Chains A and B, each alone.
Chain A
Amino acid sequence: MSVDYIVQLEDISKFFGSVIALNGVTLRLRRGEVHCLLGDNGAGKSTLIKTLAGVHPPDKGEYLVDGRRIHFKSPRDALDLGIATVYQDLALVPLMSVARNFFMGREPRRKLIGPFQVMDHELAGRTAIAKLAEMGIKVRDASQVVGTMSGGERQCLAIARAIHFGARALILDEPTAALGVRQSVNVLKLINRAREKGISVLFITHNVNHAYPVGDTFTLLNRGKSLGTFAKGDVTKDEVLDMMAGGAEMQALMADVAGMTI
């Protein structure tokens, strides 16, 4: 194969009873690219994420990592291969500090006396601040409670955490959905930084305005089917928007709302 893919879904289908959630979807994430997965609500984005994350095994089709076929039994298997998913709920605890959140479940420890080990708060705090700074987020106090941070900062914290713990491919589930304009820009910058570090990013969104500036490649999903994958040079933002919303269908809808554009 001439092109180097880190994660590939080949002709994947997923059924829930009689519902066809995914119908022959192909998605190839190239090494070091930002790949945007665009789709409106109900397009099958969530199912696709969960398939990638190892939550749902696909009913049909192949899942390849580094060109090898794999069968994930649990999300842990995906993590072990460096495929990290940052869900919308971010898996952060608001009442805990930045450092405690950053290392939640993977606390660094040091020996105290004999067999007794304690959590190395000093190392945790230092590492968390350094890793966040690398991502362009300045946190002065690692004991700051996450609940005091803005939505954008929390998103960035979750992404920085995933990267620190060895993510090679980062799956971001609507990271800008709940954010304001300025905070969204910060998250988009962070996505760029991740790419600079050589990390492949699958950026899931329904907002073309967010996807277009950072994306290298776009895959459009509609009603469980892929409408195709396009390189940035081959497609304009308006074309993407058109396809995503179902083109003609959307035109008709928008005619009802006079003067509306998205």
Chain B
Amino acid sequence: MADPDMPSPGIRAEPAPPSDERVRDIGALRRFLSRPEFGSISGAVLVFVLFGLVAGDSGMFSAEGIVNWATVAAFLGIIAVGAALLMIGGEFDLSIGSMIGFAGMMLAIPALYWGWPMWVAALFTFALCAVLGTLNGYLVVRTGLPSFIVTLAFYFILRGLSLALSTMLTGKTIVSNNEGIALRDLATSDYLFSTLFSGHVLTGLFNAMARWGWIAARDGGSALAIGMPKVVVWWLVLTAIGGFVLARTRRGNWILAVGGDANAAKNTGVPVARVKVSLFVVTALCAALFAVLQVADAGSAAADRGLQKEFEAIIAAVIGGCLLSGGYGSIVGASIGALIFGVVQIGIGYTSIDNNWYRVFLGGMLLAAVLFNTYIRTRVALGRR
């Protein structure tokens, strides 16, 4: 110790209190409460209990019902994962919804009108969206403008482009067939494309369960629910990857740092611009995946697809515990937020409640989530009272 160096009258070298006695044991419950997923998990429990009580015997929790709301949740979940990663990295993307419409058109038009194989058209769609994501990110990083403004511009540009380009190239804004060729046939006949994006998995399991009498069967004995749509698999896989990257990898630490304090991150050697641009690319790719899966599912592309999806994705991320200011949140939480969406949106149809209450519920849920997140952050995460 070098305390002899401090005999000055200005400060007395009082022994500092050992920091140990100042560390409170916060306990398991408090620890769970401070996890970013807490809000969405309790919200999901609430929603399931609610619909279990109101619509428990309506078929909502039958195999077909589950497939129904899981599909809705999965579509939203895919873009919620991207939106959540971007939000934790401190930025927004308001162009997600427009990107979905645009990407769908950029898949359907080359396949139907230019004779491209489906898988090539899909590759083109992903590449194009990656470029658009890079452009979004580059503009945000280079200009220092809020991503809110830059991506709002692309919200309009991409929606306008989808409408204008589809009208210019096809004369229609909904594209499903051309010269007798149906988009659906192209999608199912392309091995690579259909393996990845169309149809269902676990069909055998569903049929077996139907034989055992666990779930409803058709006249022929096969299950009424064909299987789990592939979109659900994509959703679960993306959630797992996103959650893993954020929690366990160096890249995840960079995302948290960049969103928490970009300047601090830069000063410690984190490549801030690269991280942010790559997050915009990931979000754009998620939107492209949404569009490709939707085209495969619907057998058509429409220029007005994906309307308001950017808001739903951001709401799911916020319900999942992402702070609007960045630097904090959970990918699993965002996916649970998407699940809440799916359950409520489909579940209301199984009840006698008017469908329009869905939006009221969502707004209320968003407000509750934001208030809750703010409370948790100040009270638990930062230990203030």
Q: Which residues of A contact B (CB under 8 A)?
A: 75-76, 87, 89-96, 100, 103-107, 109, 117-119, 121, 137-141, 144-145, 147-148, 153, 181-182, 184-186, 188-189, 192-193, 195-196, 208-210, 212-214, 237
Alpha-carbon distance between A144 and B20 when the two chains are bound, in angstroms: 13
Residues in A neighbouring B374, C-beta threshold 8 A: none
Q: What are 29 A-B contacts defined by CB distance under 8 Å?
A: A89-B263, A89-B264, A91-B261, A91-B263, A93-B265, A93-B327, A94-B261, A95-B323, A95-B381, A96-B253, A96-B257, A100-B253, A103-B253, A104-B257, A104-B268, A105-B254, A105-B268, A105-B269, A118-B249, A119-B250, A138-B20, A140-B20, A141-B23, A182-B14, A182-B17, A189-B2, A209-B8, A213-B6, A214-B5
Residues of B within 8 A of A121 (CB): 248
Assembly CA distance A28 to B20 (angstroms): 39
Find chain A residues with CB under 8 A from B1 CB: 189, 192
Q: Are A105 and B270 in contact (CB under 8 A)?
A: yes
Q: Check if A90 sits within 8 Å of B248, measured CB to CB.
A: no
Q: Report A244 CB to chain B, min CB distance, Å.
A: 14
| B6 in contact with A93 (CB, 8 Å) | no
Query: A189 and B16: CB pair below 8 A?
Result: yes
Say yes or no: B11 contacts A138, CB within 8 Å.
no
B residues within 8 A CB of A208?
A: 10
Q: Are B382 and A181 in contact (CB under 8 A)?
A: no
Least Cβ distance of B60 to chain A in Å? Answer: 38
Asked if B7 is at the interface of the complex by the 8 Å CB criterion, the answer is yes
**Chain B contacts of A153 at CB under 8 A?**
19
Alpha-carbon separation in the docked complex, A258 to B366 (Å): 59
Asked if residues A96 and B327 are in contact (CB atoms below 8 Å), the reply is yes
Task: List the 3 closest A-B pairs by CB distance, nearest first.
Answer: A209-B10, A93-B260, A105-B269
Within 8 Å of chain A (Cβ to Cβ): is B77? no
The answer to whether A193 and B2 touch (CB under 8 A), given A95-B327, A119-B249, A237-B10, is: yes
In the assembled complex, how far is the CB of residue A248 from the closest CB belonging to chain B, in whole angstroms?
23
Residues of A within 8 A of B23 (CB): 138-141, 144
Residues on A with C-beta less than 8 A from B264 are: 89-93, 104
The interface of chain B, by Cβ under 8 A from chain A, is 1-3, 5-8, 10-11, 13-14, 16-20, 23, 248-250, 252-254, 256-257, 260-261, 263-265, 267-270, 323, 327-328, 377, 381-383
The CA of A153 and the CA of B19, in the complex, are separated in Å by: 9
A189 contacts B14, CB within 8 Å?
Answer: no
Cβ of A236 to closest chain B Cβ, rounded Å: 11
Q: How far is the CB of A143 from chain B (nearest CB, A)?
A: 9
- Residues of chain A lying within 8 A (CB to CB) of residue B383: 145, 147-148
Cβ of A237: which chain B residues have Cβ within 8 Å of it?
A: 8, 10
- What residues of chain B lie closer than 8 Å to A214, measured between beta carbons? 5-6
Q: Which residue of B lies closest to A102 (CB)?
A: B268
Q: Report yes or no: A119 in contact with B2, Cβ–Cβ below 8 A.
A: no
> Measured between C-beta atoms, what is the minimum distance from A128 to chain B in Å?
13
Task: Tell me the complex Cα distance, A117–B248, Å.
Answer: 9
Interfacial chain B residues near A144, Cβ < 8 Å: 23
A-B Cβ contacts below 8 A, count:
134
Of A104, A138, A186, A195, which one neighbours B2 at CB under 8 angstroms? A195
Q: Does A212 contact B10, Cβ atoms closer than 8 Å?
A: yes
**Of B3, B20, B250, B377, which is in contact with the most chain A CB atoms at under 10 Å from its CB?**
B250
Cβ contacts under 8 Å, A186 to chain B: 16
Nearest Cβ on chain B to A162's Cβ, whole angstroms:
10
Q: Which of B7, B19, B260 has the most CB of A within 10 A?
A: B19
A188→B11 contact, CB < 8 A: yes
Q: How far is the CA of A104 from the CA of B258 in the complex (A)?
A: 10
Residue in contact with A145 in the complex, picked from B3, B20, B269, B382, CB distance below 8 Å? B382
In the complex where A106-B268, A209-B10, A213-B11 touch, is A94 in contact with B382 (Cβ < 8 A)?
A: yes
Q: Which residues of B contact A119 (CB under 8 A)?
A: 248-250, 252-253
Beyond the given pairs A91-B268, A104-B268, A185-B11, 8 more chain A to chain B contacts, judged by CB atoms under 8 angstroms and listed by A's residue number, are: A91-B267, A93-B257, A93-B261, A95-B256, A105-B254, A192-B3, A196-B2, A214-B6
Closest to B327 in A: A95
- Give the shortest distance, in Å, between A178 (CB) and chain B (any CB): 16
Q: A138-B19, A140-B23, A145-B382 are in contact. Are A213 and B5 (CB under 8 A)?
A: yes
Residues on B with C-beta less than 8 A from A192 are 1-3, 5
- Contacts known (A96-B327, A209-B10, A212-B10); A137 close to B19, Cβ less than 8 A: yes
State whether B11 touches A184 (Cβ < 8 A).
yes
Contact across chains for A182 and B19 when beta carbons are under 8 A apart: no
Task: Across the interface, name the chain B residue whose C-beta is closest to A75.
Answer: B267
**Distance between A233 CB and nearest chain B CB, rounded to angstroms:** 13
- State the Cβ distance, B358 to closest chain A Cβ, in Å: 33
Q: Which residue of B lies closest to A132 (CB)?
A: B19
Q: Which residues of A have CB within 8 Å of B381?
A: 95, 145, 147-148
Residue in chain A with minimal CB distance to B15: A185
